[in-house]
Structure 1
Amino acid sequence: MNRFLPHVTVAAVVADRDRFLLVEEHDRMNTASTITLFNQPAGHLEAEESLIDAVYRETLEESGWEITLVGYLGLYINTAPNGVVYHSHTFLARPERRVSQILDEGITRADWYSLTDIETLERHGRLRSPLVARRIRDALEDPVYPLDLIRDLNHPT
């Protein structure tokens, strides 16, 4: 993993009324820790995969939920404590149905949290990155862009 090249990732802010889907996972940076962290369903773009295919795949693998994308929240750029720069394409989605109880390795569960719950997790340092709360606040306050903002010439719709 080259920490000097940006890592392209996707994330889904899955909203159901006033609750948001988060996954609880083991801290990958501190494998000795028993404390878990919370994140949106998110992960790396795989070779020859579109951003939209990646967000559907990652959400299903990490949470067991099928979703429908509502729009594009934006590109979030963040440097992790280990120096890796992430370019995270973030989508707003609504849940359709939970189709699997089997979650990716390292994820202990997927559940629904209110903004108040998420802010409490944030105060206690339990969010995987500052992007988790920021994405949710943006989903509540900022415009959501149409999916056709992404022009993927390798994966035409």
Structure 2
Amino acid sequence: MDWLPHITVATIVEDNGRFLMVEETKHGRTVLNQPAGHLDPDETLIEAAVRETLEETGWDVEPTGVVGIYLYTAPSNGVTYQRVCFNAKPLKHHPDYQLDDGIVGAKWLTRDELLAQRANWRSELIIRCIDDYLDGNHFGLELIRPSL
């Protein structure tokens, strides 16, 4: 049996207690997620986090740290994802930016507002990453080493 984990990135962007979230359509329903996506060929993890955040929210961000590295197997399809979650500061919003297909829009939500919408989460990683961020898990970007 071939086991092919998917490398993904996610970004925690906070502004005054609100978190930048993405509403996206997945399997016919609208779900919430952090700005997140797959690593592209010839791209660094940091570049992927910046790109995915822009493509899904219209926001330019500056990564400032690493919140954590997570292994998650989706119960819906059995696929294993390795997620590298960054924290970043918002820099500039491009309200007319053409968001990726399947993206309904971006919204800023508090942790409590997210908890009230638990049935709409794409995965439990949403709250785990936010809670790790709120608990002070911020590791330096030097944790991410360039390829040789």
Q: 1:107 Cα shift?
A: 0.5
- Relative to structure 1, is the Cα distance of residues 22 and 3 closer, same or farther in structure 2, using a 3 angstrom cutoff? farther
Tell whether the 8 Å contact from 2:36 to 2:49 is kept in structure 1 after alignment.
yes
Aligned to 2:79: 84
- State the partner residue of 2:141: 147
After TM superposition, the score normalised by the length of structure 2 is 0.94
After superposition, give the CA deviation of every residue in 1:86-105 in whole Å (9 maximum; x if it has no partner): 00000001111112432100
Letter in 2 for 1:95: P
What is the aligned-residue identity percentage? 44
> For residue 37 of structure 2, what is the aligned residue in structure 1?
43
8 A contact 1:3–1:85 mirrored in 2 = no
Partner residue, 1:70? 64
Asked whether the 8 Å contact 1:3–1:83 carries over to 2, the reply is no
CA distance in structure 2 between the partners assigned to 1:50 and 1:143 by the alignment: 21
Q: Secondary structure at the match of 1:136?
A: helix
Query: What SS does structure 1 have at the residue aligned with 2:120?
Result: coil
Aligned residues: 146
Name the structure 1 match of 2:46: 52
| Among candidates 110, 116, 129, match of residue 114 of structure 1 | 110
Q: Greater CA deviation, 129-138 or 95-104?
A: 95-104
Per-residue deviation at 1:3? Answer: 7.5
Distance 1:3 1:40, change over 3 A: farther
Q: What TM-score do you get using the length of structure 1 for normalisation?
A: 0.88
Q: Give, in angstroms, the shift of residue 142 of structure 1.
A: 3.3
Q: Does the CA contact (< 8 Å) of 1:22 and 1:41 recur in 2?
A: yes
Whole-angstrom CA distance in 2 between matches of 1:6 and 1:142:
28
CA contact (8 A) 1:3 1:84 kept: no
Note the residue ranges of structure 2 that are not aligned, 5 or more in a row.
Answer: none
